[in-house]
Amino acid sequence: MLNYSDIEQIRYFMDQAEEALDNNEEFKAVAELNTAQRFILALLMDYEQGGENE
């Protein structure tokens, strides 16, 4: 299960991506979305292995 801190981190990366798009910084936006994606993947892998987010 996701905890509040995990959700806040995902929101942070998504907000950064949105701000970058607003500033026409497409490459930065993609980088922020990639970071969010990697974070989500790490959470899923931890959950699958019975980690603390279970």
43 lies in some domain = yes
C-alpha–C-alpha distance, residues 51 and 27, integer Å: 33
54 lies in some domain = no
- Per residue in 18-47, pLDDT tens? 999 999 999 999 999 999 999 999 999 998
Joined tokens for residue 1:
């299960």
Joined tokens for residue 19:
């701000």
27 lies in some domain = yes
17 lies in some domain = yes
20 lies in some domain = yes
- Read off the pLDDT band of 50 (50, 70, 90): confident
Residue 48 or residue 54, greater confidence: 48
53 lies in some domain = no
Range of the domain at 34: 4-48
10 lies in some domain = yes
44 lies in some domain = yes
